[in-house]
Amino acid sequence: MQVEIPTVTTLLGLEFDKSKMLGLNPHISIAQQSLPRKALDHLKQNTNLSYSFLADCLRINLRTLQRYAPEQLFSQTVSERVLMIANVYAKGYEVFEDKDAFQKWMQPPVHALSNQEPQQLLPSTYGINLLLMELGRIEHGIFA
């Protein structure tokens, strides 16, 4: 039995009418719009990240984040950061082929990441890029 690996769109709880996408990659379509708060709620459920940590990653005050209604849209900048975090988790779940294994990998320091906890790199774009590069290395069997 093959386990279904969550994609960015499923991690965010988004569905798209493929007939209206005109051949666009769903990630491009997501990046061109603002995401509602409920997409972040869905991401939180699929990643076990706390709202406090997510607020830090998104550079939003936790109380401000908590005041957003489920349908209220984030700014374009915040929406892109949500998408980037979802992308890391989707890639990690794909590479590790197991949500729990990837979430465990995100916690302890990783030698290839200068002994930093992978999760602690999520608040910066540079850190997210490092995580994606490291996941690419793992996917191809290149361990530092």
pLDDT band at 118 (very low <50, low <70, confident <90, very high): very high
pLDDT band at 138 (very low <50, low <70, confident <90, very high): very high
Closest CA to 88 of 45, 136, 53: 136
The pLDDT score that the predictor gives to residue 92 is 97
The pLDDT score that the predictor gives to residue 24 is 57
Query: Does position 131 have pLDDT exceeding 50, yes or no?
Result: yes
- Give the residue ranges of DSSP H helices in the chain: 8-11, 26-31, 37-47, 51-58, 62-67, 76-96, 99-105, 125-139
- Mean pLDDT over 62-82 rounds to 95
The pLDDT score that the predictor gives to residue 19 is 45
The pLDDT score that the predictor gives to residue 89 is 97
Query: Does position 59 have pLDDT exceeding 90, yes or no?
Result: yes
User: Quick check: 29 and 16 in contact, CB under 8 A?
Assistant: yes
Query: Does position 57 have pLDDT exceeding 90, yes or no?
Result: yes
